[in-house]
Structure 1
Amino acid sequence: MSLLNLERGIKNIKKIASNLPFNSGVYKMISSKNEVLYVGKAKNLNKRVKSYSNPMKLNYRLQKMVSLIEKVDFIITKNEAYALLLEASLIKELKPKFNILLKDDKTYPYITLRKSHKWCQIKKHRGKKIVGDRYYGPFASVYHVNNTLDTLQKIFPIRTCTDHEIENRKRPCVQYEIKRCTAPCTKLINITDYNKIVENLESFLLGKENKVLKNLMVEMHSLSESLHYEKAATFRDKIRSLEKINQSNNKESNNLISADFFCITNIKNMFAIEIIFFRNGKNFGSNTHYPYVYREVDSKSLLSKFIAQFYNKNENIPRKIFISCDIKEKKLLQEALQIKNNNKVEIKLATTSSNIKIITEGMKTAKINLANKISNQSNIKEFHNQIQYRFKLSKNIRKIEVYDNSHFSGKEAIGSFIVANENGFLREEYRKFNIKEASSNDDYGMMKEVLTRRFNIQKFKSFPDLVIVDGGLGQLSVAKSVFKELKIETVCIIAISKGKIRNASNEIFYNISGEKVYLKSSEPLFYYMLRLRDEAHRFAITTHRNKRNKNIFKSEIDNIENIGPKRKKNLILYFGSLEGIKKAEINQLLKVPGINKNVAVSIYNYFKAT
């Protein structure tokens, strides 16, 4: 950053600010390359943007940002709360490098009760909610959902199978044999008794354990009095399981209705935020986030920004949010979340002993996880230093891309790359390329096409420090020729080959000069290199498999008249697979939502003719 550029940036800011309105809204700082550098919100756009023109109030990183500013775009909003919501949405979409970023952009899974079918189905769900279905969550991870589903099925044995399976089974499946389903598919339970199980399950998920225990005890005593001792024993076991679950939960936390806990800690300028989910008195797990912080920031500001971004993508906002430290603009954030949630939201410090205990445990977990992450980063940095030294590379290694190709008998070829740095794998930066020009049997041609497209596309903002190609000297030669043609001199290249004996621990490594680099299979660096290669291989195989499966389904069903994306989705959800659709009779097809008689006949005739 030069003083001249800073002066030019400040001059631009002053000129732009003079034309900005005094309304509340959102502003976007944009560079001469049309890159969005920063997104901010303001109660007064004119005053806020003008504040960037005083160099004495700017730290080094803000000065660097200002030196890059060419123009400022703005959007006027109804008030500052709406500006806060829009700011969070734009940060998620644009990912400006000078903003605090929520790096983990995933949505959280739920348990769903599908009430739309006569025989209610329980399953895990992630994504858009369907009207009419009941959702319980969010859970911290799929692991927590699977564990919960496993426990629930033992106590409340309702179906998990597809609609097609329940309509067409002639005998009960293994779930019935292990007592995790009551086999409504073969009418081994009537609808009244089945709905009682569903009702008890809903009550349990809503935190009404005492009501459920009472209902189960009534059933147990009734069966016992009727001399059905074996059935009574199953209810006794369910009661014991429920009591065990209640005991394992934190007794004090059962006073909570629904709340999220945010616990923030830091070591130097690295932060960890632990989020703990409670719904209807139950702990639905916790998750640690490591927000990207480009500039100096304190915990109060960071946690406020983080919460706004977190609820921008996760719409299940509880009425109570507990925080480990006070935050900036708390009232404004509450107002914004109330607008989004259409309900009162309270953000406050923990004061009761039970809430303080949860916050304390969350802080402890966050500190341990952050310390482990820093330790892992140190190890990875050391690996990168070793790579630079052992492979005789000309620059420090921070960011690595690993390339691999995949095809099936020469068909549906794809090329892909994965990205890693000192923080580990950057999955949001992984990319795939459908091979358009090279022959699927030409591995060198595919590698050339992928590298050319990747390094010749303007949308990729930055280059890695190192490219690793999966292959031998041939692939290395291809990569070198592409870089020479594109005049890329800042990226190092190395290659990994399986060697003559094509099994693990016999890999051969080559530096950019084509010289072999010998790594012992006992070396940690050897396994780090294989870990990078295996992740690239996994991503390529998974991406190719998904493409192949999609194309198989697409080619089979898209030729049928009046079958669009919605009907296609309903068909696969109902029948579970393409084979199920092929075998379906007209009366079965008519049970699928959105399928009328004409469409059902078209589907039936199409598959019977092929």
Structure 2
Amino acid sequence: MSSESPSIKTGYQVIQGYLRTIDSSPGVYRMLDSESRVLYVGKARNLKNRVSNYARPTGHSARIATMISHTASMMFLTTQTETEALLLEQNLIKQLKPKYNVLLRDDKSFPNILISKDHDYPRIDKHRGAKKKKGTYFGPFASAGAVNRTLNTLQRAFLLRTCSDSDYETRTRPCLQYQIKRCSAPCVGKIEVAEYKQLVRDAERFLTGKTTDMQAALAKQMTQASEDMEFERAAALRDRIKALTQVQTAQGINPQNTTEADVIALHRDGGQACVQVFFIRANQNWGNRDYYPRVSGDEDPAEVMQAFIGQFYADREPPRLLLLSHGVDDEDLVCELLADKAGRKVEIVVPQRGEKAELVSGAARNARESLGRKMSETATQARLLRGLKEAFDLPQVPQRVEVYDNSHIQGAFAVGAMIVAGPEGFDKNQYRKFNIRGEELTPGDDFGMMKEVLTRRFKRLLKEDPDRQLGTWPGLLLIDGGAGQVSAVREIMDELGVSDVPMVGVAKGVDRDHGKEEFYRTGKPVMALPRNDPVLYFIQRMRDEAHRFAIGTHRAKRSKAIGATPLDDVPGVGAARKRALLQHFGSAKAVGRAALADLKAVDGISDNMAETIYGYFNEKG
């Protein structure tokens, strides 16, 4: 069911008009402003009762009162159950990012450890993203660093390989990992399949917390090996026991009675919030991450916590237990939603004493300290943005600074790069790279490349946000270059009709020395900033970040091009067949010159595929 008021009025009287058209079903409602932008998404067990709360002229918090005053229309969608409404609400919040909802702004995926199951000698590796590969997954880990630490532990204790299957197949002697006792070298037959599989089982037991009798069993095996005078095997078992002992000593801070849980603590201060999440798996702390959800400051802690949990687990599998610093509204409903997602029971607890309370207390302390650091950094960033306004006489403090740079080698592999800085520092989700497409450009034409990049950038802005309402328009452009670049960019902006966007060219200045930068603006004299000015350091950091991003993008493009071969364009030739052909013939050029009979002789290349490859290169020739 969807409704919109024909009136352009706003406020509680508009909301009252909808009470006649909605019933008492569960569902989701959306509040929209006069330009049909979504202000708020909410769910209700009883839509009529919930909406009637907004139809009152008084008794609201400042946030809700402001939201009501801007509401010009509403939309409704009924559901069969309140659980469905809760799920739909969280999905819409993530999709629409309404102004007045608590919003989780960081939705990065978490890494896992994968033990593959498609090889006689399974490899252990870091994995991020969809779980499509065949194998057993362990996680989530809070960061790549947490995964790497655990992988190092597993390599020392269980000697599992981490090399790719292609590297494994081509080894003729043990690699460095074997020399430093971090791999059992199955690639060259240093260990039997059955023994290696036992190592894999032991590693899986370790990752699931079943380590009680592991060291005793290893000690028994070491004694037996010594008695059998298998001293090399005994020494290897001794090293594994030592590695496990070191791990268990380092894990003294880990919980003893909490096998699997996410510990979630909220701290609020000065209208801002930090949520700290610790991941406990197999009685081990697998790292933590902090989040700074967008809040207005007057929400109830239970509202913030429920919104966070709903959005956090929208695309993640919840653990069996959530330990929270604050309870949530509709706890039974949230548990039901999480249980449906996980396919098993999920429990929510706000512990008051014991080990679990200590875990929550530790997470809350981290949340408080993280928010303090964040607020300090934000205040510093705000001062720097104000400094930009004052230094360059801007009409207002820029909330979004875009910095552009190009990278190429004599015109080859040319890319443009844009980085973004704002009130919270560098916004890496907003970084963009541009593959230079202009075929008519002279190699190394920096002016031409900059023109292409900015033309593409602002044409897209004009198409996607012509009214400049989405916060994606820059308050300041920083261009790497002097008067020539600034003049060229100004010409581009004038052609596009966006000449009101402030722009500054940053040139290295005398001797291309840090600290002697010169700044160029249209119609104004060249200027410089004092060497010890924090705003100068800020500009240098932004320019260096743009240069780093541009160089990295350029190198990635160059590496991809260098690694490319004509085989990449042959229909049906994937990575495995490409590898087989290159190993057999030595080069792509030799493959192209090969006779049909030679192609058919390659392992993994069928007669039909050989004919396809032969035909492709003969047609090309």
What are the residue-to-residue correspondences of 1:222-241 with 2, within 5 Å?
222-241=224-243
Equivalent position of 1:445 in the other structure? 448
1:516 alignment counterpart: 526
CA 1:183 to 1:448, structure 2 compared with 1: closer, same or farther past 3 Å?
A: same
The alpha carbon displacement at 1:282 in A equals: 0.8
Residue 283 of structure 1 aligns with an amino acid whose one-letter code is N
The aligned counterpart of 2:360 is 359
Q: Residues of 1 paired with 2:456 and 2:484: CA distance? A: 19
- What is the correspondence of 1:184-333 to structure 2 with a 5 Å cutoff? 184-250=186-252, 253-294=255-296, 296-315=298-317, 317-333=318-334
Secondary structure class of the residue paired with 1:530: helix
Structure 1: segments with no counterpart, 5+ residues: none
Distance 2:284 2:276 in 1: 17
Residue 456 (structure 2) pairs with residue 431 (structure 1): no
Q: How far 1:406 sits from its partner (Å)?
A: 3.3
Deviations 1:443-492 (A, max 9, x none): 22333333344334332423232221222222222333344444446532
- Stretches of structure 2 that go unaligned for 5 or more consecutive residues are 1-6, 592-598
The answer to whether the 8 Å contact 2:116/2:133 transfers is no
Greater Rg over alpha carbons, structure: 2
Structure 2 CA distance for partners of 1:78 and 1:548, relative to 1, 3 Å:
farther
Secondary structure at the counterpart of residue 75 of structure 2 = strand
Contact 2:388 2:397 in 1 (8 A): no
Q: How does 1:136-215 map to 2 (within 5 A)?
A: 136-215=138-217
Shift of 1:25: 2.3
* Cα separation, 1, equivalents of 2:414 and 2:68: 45
Give the secondary structure class of the aligned counterpart of 1:265: strand
Q: Are 2:115 and 1:113 equivalent residues in the alignment?
A: yes
Contact 2:40–2:101 (CA<8 Å) still a contact in 1?
yes
Q: 8 Å contact 2:600–2:606 — kept in the other structure?
A: no
- Which shifted more, 228-237 or 126-135? 228-237
Measure, in 1, the Cα distance between the counterparts of 2:79 and 2:554.
44
What is the CA distance between 1:352 and its match in structure 2?
4.3
Deviation, 1:255, is: 1.8
Q: Which residue of 1 aligns with 2:398?
A: 397
Shift of 1:279: 0.5
1:393, 1:369 → 2: CA distance?
33
The answer (yes or no) to whether the contact 1:165–1:575 under 8 Å persists in 2 is: no
Call closer, same or farther: CA 1:496–1:187 in 2, change over 3 Å: same
CA distance 1:572–1:184, shift in 2 (3 Å): farther
Distance 1:43 1:53 in 2: 17
TM-score by length of structure 2 reads: 0.87
* Amino acid paired to 1:334: C
Which residue is 1:422 aligned to? 423
Change in 2 beyond 3 A, CA 1:340/1:587: farther
CA distance in 1, matches of 2:99, 2:412: 39
Where does residue 25 of structure 2 map in the other structure? 23
- What is the CA RMSD across the aligned residues, in angstroms? 3.3
Cα distance in 1, alignment partners of residues 131 and 581 from structure 2: 20
Q: Which residue of 1 aligns with 2:507?
A: 497
User: How many residues are paired up?
Assistant: 596
SS of aligned partner of 2:569:
coil
1:350 corresponds to which residue? 351
- Mapped to 2, the partners of 1:580 and 1:203 lie a distance apart of 43
Distance 1:51 1:363 in 2: 33
Match of 2:54 among 47, 52, 55: 52
SS in 2 for 1:51: helix
* Contact 1:390–1:517 (CA under 8 A) maintained in structure 2: no
For residues 582 and 351 of structure 2, the distance between their equivalents in structure 1, rounded to whole angstroms, comes to: 46
With over 3 angstroms needed to count, the CA separation of the structure-2 counterparts of 1:573 and 1:231, relative to structure 1, is same
Q: Which residue in 2 is equivalent to 1:42?
A: 44
Q: Which one of the candidate residues 523, 526, 542 is aligned to 2:552?
A: 542
Q: How far, CA to CA, are the matches of 1:260 and 1:586 in structure 2? A: 55
Distance verdict in 2 for CA 1:526–1:587, change over 3 Å: farther
Aligned to 1:102, the other structure's residue is in SS state coil
**Larger CA deviation: 580-589 vs 175-184:** 580-589
Q: Which moved more, 1:148-157 or 1:70-79?
A: 70-79
Contact 2:153 / 2:247 at 8 angstroms: preserved in 1? no
Where 1:468 maps in the other structure, the secondary structure is strand
The verdict on how the C-alpha distance between 1:587 and 1:355 changes in structure 2, with shifts beyond 3 A counting, is farther
Match of 1:210, SS state, is coil
Determine if contact 1:323/1:350 at 8 Å carries over to the other structure: yes
Post-superposition shift, 1:295?
5.7
**1:340 Cα offset (Å):** 1.0
Change (3 A) 1:607 1:296: farther
Deviation at 1:232, TM superposition (A): 1.6
**1:483 and 1:541, CA in 2 relative to 1: closer, same or farther beyond 3 A?**
same
Q: Which amino acid aligns with 1:517?
A: M
Q: Deviations over 1:256-294 (max 9, x none)?
A: 110000011111211111101000111101111111114
Task: Tell me the amino acid that sits aligned with residue 399 of structure 2.
Answer: R
Local SS of the residue matching 2:477: strand
- Would you say the 8 A contact 1:164–1:574 is kept in 2? no
Q: Structure 1 pair 56/142, CA: closer, same or farther in 2 (3 Å)?
A: same
AA matched with 2:313: Y
What is the alpha-carbon distance in structure 1 between the residues aligned to residue 78 and residue 329 of structure 2? 22
Say whether 1:126 aligns with 2:136: no
Query: For 1:215-254, what per-residue CA distance to the aligned partner results, in whole angstroms no more than 9, with x for missing partners?
Result: 3212211211122334323322321221222222246712
Deviates more, 1:43-52 or 1:384-393: 43-52
| Alpha carbons of structure 1 residues 262 and 580: separation in structure 2 relative to 1, 3 Å | farther
Say if 2:323 and 2:351, in contact at 8 Å, map to a contact too: yes
Deviation of the 1:97 alpha carbon: 2.6
Corresponding residue number in structure 2 for 1:459: 464
The 10-residue stretch of structure 1 (155-164 or 529-538) with the greater mean CA deviation from structure 2: 529-538
Q: State the distance in 2 between where 1:356 and 1:22 align.
A: 40
Structure 1 residue 387: deviation in Å?
1.8
The alpha carbon displacement at 1:21 in A equals: 4.7
Partner of 2:3: none
What residue number does 1:561 align with? 571
| 1:528 aligned onto 2:533 | no
Per the alignment, do residues 124 and 367 of structure 1 end up closer, same or farther by CA in structure 2, a change over 3 Å counting?
A: same
Instruction: Say whether the 8 Å CA contact 2:272–2:297 is kept in structure 1.
Output: no
For 1:516, the aligned partner's letter is: V
Q: What is the alpha-carbon distance in structure 1 between the residues aligned to residue 9 and residue 267 of structure 2?
A: 37
CA contact (8 A) 1:466 1:492 kept: yes
**Percent of aligned pairs with the same residue?**
37
AA of the residue aligned to 2:454? L
- The answer (yes or no) to whether the contact 1:62–1:295 under 8 Å persists in 2 is no
The residue type paired with residue 204 of structure 2 is E
CA displacement at 1:319 relative to structure 2: 0.7
Letter in 1 for 2:306: S
1:431 deviates by 2.8
Q: Residues 606, 172 of structure 1: CA spacing in aligned structure 2 closer, same or farther, 3 A cutoff?
A: farther
Aligned equivalents of 2:582, 2:103: Cα separation in 1: 38
Q: Which amino acid letter does the alignment assign opposite residue 448 of structure 1?
A: K
Q: TM-score, normalised by structure 1?
A: 0.88
C-alpha distance in structure 2 between counterparts of 1:600 and 1:186, whole Å: 31
Change (3 A) 1:68 1:313: same
Paired residue type of 1:253: P
Give me the whole-angstrom Cα distance separating, in 1, the residues matched to 2:86 and 2:603: 48
1:529 is paired with a residue of what secondary structure? helix
Q: Which amino acid aligns with 1:327?
A: V
- Which of 486, 491, 510 aligns to 1:481? It is 491
Q: Which of 464, 468, 472 does residue 482 from structure 2 map onto?
A: 472
Relative to structure 2, which stretch is displaced further, 113-122 or 407-416?
A: 407-416
Q: Distance in 1 between matches of 2:555 and 2:33?
A: 40
Whether contact under 8 Å (1:263, 1:275) holds in the other structure is yes
Change (3 A) 1:39 1:161: same
Higher mean displacement: 72-81 or 82-91: 72-81
Is the Cα contact below 8 Å between 1:497 and 1:507 reproduced in 2? Answer: yes
Distance 1:399 1:269 in 2: 21
